[in-house]
Homo-oligomer: A and B are copies of this chain.
Amino acid sequence: MEIWELLKEFFDAEIKKLKLKSYYFPLFITENVVQKKKDHFEGFAPEVAWVTKTGNSELEAPIAIRPTSETVMYPYFAKWIRSHRNLPLRCNQWCSVVRWECSNPIPLIRSREFLWQEGHTVFATKEESDEEVLHILELYRRIYEEFLAVPVSKGRKSEVEKFAGGLYTTSVEAFIPNTGRGIQAATSNCLGQNFAKMFEIFFEDENDPAQKKKEKNKRSLVWQNSWAYTTRSIGVMVMTHGDDKGLVLPPRVAPIQVMVIPDPLEDADMTAIKEVCETIVYTLSQAGIRADLDARENYTPEWKHSHWEMKGVPLRIEIDVKDLANKQVRVVRRDNGAKVDIPSTDLVEHVQVLLDRIQDSLFETAKQKRDACIEVVYTWDEFTAAVNDKKLILAPWCDEEEVEKDVRARTEGDLGSAKTLCAPFDQPDLVEGSDHVFFLRRR
C-alpha cells in the first residue's frame, strides 16, 4: 500500500494538472443497466460477482459489483452534458473493482479484487480525445520506467485485443524474461462515439452548421476516453527485480530507502553508536530521504541484514566501533551487494547519488534482459520456434481479426496459443510497408 500511495501521489498530481476531478461512483450496478448495455457488458459477464441477498431477504433483481465503471458513470454523463459548455468533462476515481477470474488468482497480478484508478473523459472533438489518450499513456510509461524501473513498450492493441466496445486501445506492455510472460501494464482507450451512442450522450455543438440553424434533433455525439492502471503494476515490479533473497525495490518507490543497522561488536560503546545512527537517520530524513533505524537489541546484525534484504530496502548502512573512530559508515547496495565506505560528512550527497544509480541500474539491467528476449521473425517456422522459446516476438503483421484467430488456433498446444501484445509506436524498419507487432505465447 505504501508503494501504491507513492505511485498515486505522482499520478494524481499529474492528472490534476490536466484539470481532472476526483469522483466516486457506486460499487453496485443495477441489473437494469446491465441488461440495457448488454453489448458492452457481455465481455465482462463471466467474471461478474452478483449480490442477490441482503440480510435474510432475496433482492428482487440481482445487483452487479463493478468490474469497471462505464455502465455506472455514463448514464450520469448523459444527464450532466447538455452543451459544448459542459465539455470537456474529466473524471477520475481511485477504487477497487471485482473480476471473478476462473483461472488461478496470483497476488497482485491476477486477483479477484484489485485496486486501480479509472479515468473517464468526454470531449467535443476526436482531436482532443486522441491527444489525451497519448498524454495519459506517457504518464503510464513514466510510472513503469521512471518509478518502477520496468521497461515497457508503448503501442496499439490489435482489433481482437482492444477494449470491448472502444474505438482503439493503446497500452504499455511489460515482459518478464524469466517466465517469458508478457503483461499488459496499463491501457489508455479511445472509446470513440460508441459508448455515446449506447448511453445517448449528446451535446449542442456550436460548430455544427446544422445546429447553427437550430435544426431539431441535430445534437452531436460526444467523444470519450477511458484509461486505467492497477496494483498489477506492483506485481510486475516484484517479478522484474526480485531475486533469491527476496524483494528488490527501486528507490523511488521504496517506502524505506535506507535502513541503518548498528553493529554492536564486543565491548563497544553502544550509546555512542546509537547516537550516531540516530543522527544519520535524522540527517537523511531532513534531506528528504526515507531512512529508518533498526535498533532492536534482540536480533543480530546478520539477521537484520537478511531481513531488510528480503524486504527490498535499496541501501543499508552498517555502523560499528571502527567506523565510529574513522568517522565513516559502510553502505551496502541491495541490487548488487556492492559495499563502500563513505565519510560521515558527505553522507547525504553520497546516498543520493547511490539511490539514483540503483534506480538507473535496475532499469538498465531490466531493459537489457528484456531486449535480449526480443526476436524478429519473418517466416512461420521462425515464428513457431520463437513461440516455443518463450521469446518476445516482433513480426510484420496485417492486423486482421481472422488472421489473428488463425494464428491462435495454429499455435494451440501444451504451451498455449500465441497472442498479440501491441503494435509498438516505435516501429522497426524491417519489412517495408508493413506494421510490426509484438507477439507472445499465452500462458
A24 CB contacts on chain B under 8 angstroms: 1, 4, 96, 115
Further pairs besides A1-B22, A45-B56, A46-B56: 8, Cβ < 8 Å: A1-B24, A4-B24, A5-B22, A26-B113, A27-B113, A48-B55, A51-B52, A65-B65
| A47 and B55 form a contact (CB under 8 A) | yes
Are the C-beta atoms of B52 and A45 separated by less than 8 Å? no
Please tell me which one of the listed residues B28, B100, B296 contacts residue A113 in the complex, with CB atoms under 8 A apart.
B28
- Residue in contact with A22 in the complex, picked from B2, B62, B65, B298, CB distance below 8 Å: B2
Question: Within 8 Å of chain B (Cβ to Cβ): is A21?
Answer: yes
Cβ contact within 8 Å between A49 and B45: no
Does A54 sit within 8 A of B, measured CB to CB? yes
Asked whether, in the complex, the Cβ of B26 is within 8 Å of the Cβ of A2, the reply is no
- Select one of B2, B51, B56 contacting A65, CB under 8 A: B51
Residue numbers in B under 8 Å from A27 (CB-CB) = 96, 98, 113
Contact A62 B56 (CB under 8 A): no
Indicate whether A38 reaches chain B with its CB closer than 8 angstroms.
no
B2, B23, B52: the one within 8 Å of A1 (CB): B23
Q: Which residue of B lies closest to A28 (CB)?
A: B113
Measured between beta carbons, the chain B residues less than 8 angstroms from A54 are 47-50, 100
CA of A54 to CA of B98 in the docked complex: distance in angstroms?
10
Quickly give the copy total for this chain: 2
**Which of B2, B45, B63 is in CB contact (< 8 Å) with A21?**
B2
Complex-state Cα separation, A80 to B2, whole angstroms: 19
- Does A85 lie at the interface of the complex (its beta carbon under 8 Å from any beta carbon of B)? yes
Give Cα A53 to B113, complex, Å: 15
Q: Count residues on chain A whose CB falls below 8 Å from chain B CBs.
A: 37
Asked if A324 lies at the interface with its beta carbon under 8 angstroms from chain B, I say no
Q: In residues 117-146 of chain A, which contact B (Cβ within 8 Å)? A: none
By the criterion CB–CB under 8 Å, are A55 and B62 in contact?
no
Known: A96-B95, A113-B26, A115-B24. A52 touches B55 (CB 8 A): no
Contacts of A98 in B (CB 8 A): 27
What residues of chain A have their CB less than 8 Å away from a CB belonging to chain B? 1-2, 4-5, 21-24, 26-28, 45-56, 62-63, 65, 85, 93, 95-96, 98, 100, 102, 113, 115, 296, 298
Inside 8 A of A93's CB, which chain B residues have their CB? Answer: 1
Alpha-carbon distance A56/B45, docked complex (angstroms): 8
Residue contact B55 to A53, C-beta cutoff 8 Å: no
CB-CB nearest 10 A-B residue pairs: A54-B100, A50-B53, A46-B55, A1-B22, A52-B52, A49-B51, A49-B54, A27-B113, A1-B24, A51-B51
A296 nearest CB across to chain B (Å): 7
**What are 20 A-B contacts with C-beta separation under 8 Å?**
A1-B21, A1-B93, A2-B22, A4-B24, A24-B115, A26-B113, A46-B55, A46-B56, A47-B54, A47-B55, A49-B51, A49-B53, A49-B54, A50-B53, A50-B54, A51-B65, A52-B53, A55-B100, A85-B296, A85-B298
A72 to chain B, nearest CB (A): 11
How far is B63's CA from A62's CA once the two chains are assembled, in angstroms? 14
Q: How far is the CA of A56 from the CA of B113 in the complex (A)?
A: 18
Q: Give Cα A331–Cα B48 distance, bound, in whole angstroms.
A: 53
Task: Give the distance in Å from the alpha carbon of A270 to the alpha carbon of B23 in the complex.
Answer: 35
Q: How far is the CA of A24 from the CA of B113 in the complex (A)?
A: 11
The interface residues of chain B lying within 8 Å CB-to-CB of A45 are: 55-56
Docked complex Cα distance between A186 and B46 (Å): 40
In the complex the two chains form, what is the Cα distance from A2 to B20 in whole Å? 11
Measured between beta carbons, the chain B residues less than 8 angstroms from A2 are: 21-22
Closest to A115 in B: B24
Chain B contacts of A22 at CB under 8 A?
Answer: 1-2, 5
Residues of B within 8 A of A50 (CB): 51-54
- Give Cα A204–Cα B55 distance, bound, in whole angstroms: 39
